[in-house]
Chain A
Amino acid sequence: MAAGALCVFFPFFWMAVTSLKTVPEIQRVPLHIAPDRWTNLDNFREVFHRQPFARFLLNSALIAGVSAVSSVVVSSLAGYGFAKFRFPGHGVFFFAIVGILMVPFQSVVVPLYLWVSRLGLLDTYLGILAPDLVSVFGVFLMRQSIEVVPSDYIDAARIDGAGELRIFWRVILPSVKPALATLVIVKFMWTWNELFWPLIVVNSPSMKVVTLGLLSFTNMYFIEYNLVTAAAVVSILPILVVFLVGQKWVVRGVVLSGLKG
Chain B
Amino acid sequence: MRGVLRLFAPRSYMDRQRRAGLLFVLPALVYFGLVFLVPLVESVVGSFHRIVPGGESRFVGLRLYQRVFTDSTFWQAVANTVSLLLMSVPVTVTLALAVALGLHRLRSVMARSAWAAMYFLPFSVSLVAAALIWQWMYDPLYGFLNHLLGLAGLPPLPWLQSLELVRPSLAIVNVWVRLGFDTVIFLAALQAIPADYYEAASIDGASARQALLRVTLPLLNPQIVMVTILELIFNFKMFATVYATTQGGPAGASQTVIMLLYDTAFKFFRLGDASVMAVFVFASLLLVTLVQWRLFRREVEY
Contacts and interface: CB of A to CB of B under 8 A. Distances in A.
Interface residues of A, number: 86
Contact of B176 (A2, A8, A104): A8
B124 A243 contact: yes
Given A85-B18, A193-B125, A111 B24 contact: no
A238 B60 CA distance: 50
A70 B142 CA distance: 45
Given A5-B115, A78-B24, A111 B38 contact: yes
Contacts of A18: 136
Interface string B276-302: 001101100110010000000000000
Given A97-B32, A111-B39, A106 B261 contact: yes
A106 B230 contact: no
B281 A108 contact: no
Given A11-B137, A77-B24, A103-B40, A87 B184 contact: no
Contacts of B19: 87
Instruction: Report, as a range, how many residues of chain B touch the other chain.
Output: 35 or more
B282 A107 contact: yes
A142 to B, nearest CB: 10
Given A74-B27, A103-B36, A111-B42, A87 B136 contact: no
B43 A108 contact: yes
* Centre residue among A8, A113, A250, A254 by max chain B CB count within 10 A: A8
Contact of A86 (B18, B29, B128, B226): B18
A53 interface: no
* Centre residue among A26, A27, A85 by max chain B CB count within 10 A: A85
B32 A134 contact: yes
* Centre residue among B136, B144, B188 by max chain A CB count within 10 A: B136
A89 B180 CA distance: 39
Contacts of B279: 107
A197 B37 CA distance: 17
B29 A193 contact: no
B121 A12 contact: yes
Nearest to B283: A107
Nearest to A196: B239
Contact of A200 (B42, B115, B134, B266): B266
Contact of B125 (A30, A196, A236, A250): A236
Contacts of A211: 126, 128-129, 240
Interface stretch (B61-69, B98-106, B193-201): B98-106
A123 B17 CA distance: 42
B281 A31 contact: no
- Chain B at the A interface: mostly helix, strand, loop or mixed? helix
Interface string A236-259: 100110010001001100110011
Contacts of A85: 17-18, 20-22, 24
Interface in B18-53: 18-25, 27-29, 31-32, 35-40, 42-43, 46
B136 A93 contact: no
* Centre residue among B102, B118, B184, B275 by max chain A CB count within 10 A: B118
Contacts of A223: 135
B36 A108 contact: yes
B244 interface: yes
B282 A110 contact: no
A197 B147 CA distance: 37
Given A247-B117, A254-B185, A195 B28 contact: no
Contacts of A89: 22
B16 to A, nearest CB: 9
Interface string A67-91: 0000000110110111011111110
A149 interface: no
A184 interface: no
Nearest to B45: A111
Contact of A8 (B32, B103, B180): B180
22 contacts: A4-B99, A8-B176, A27-B141, A74-B31, A81-B24, A85-B17, A89-B22, A93-B29, A104-B281, A107-B282, A109-B265, A110-B271, A111-B40, A130-B35, A136-B32, A195-B128, A211-B126, A214-B132, A218-B135, A232-B133, A250-B120, A259-B230
List 6 tightest A-B contacts by C-beta distance, closest first.
Answer: A85-B21, A81-B24, A78-B28, A261-B233, A193-B126, A108-B39
Given A27-B141, A81-B20, A111-B38, 11 more contacts: A12-B133, A80-B24, A87-B18, A87-B21, A106-B239, A195-B239, A214-B132, A214-B244, A228-B136, A232-B132, A251-B188
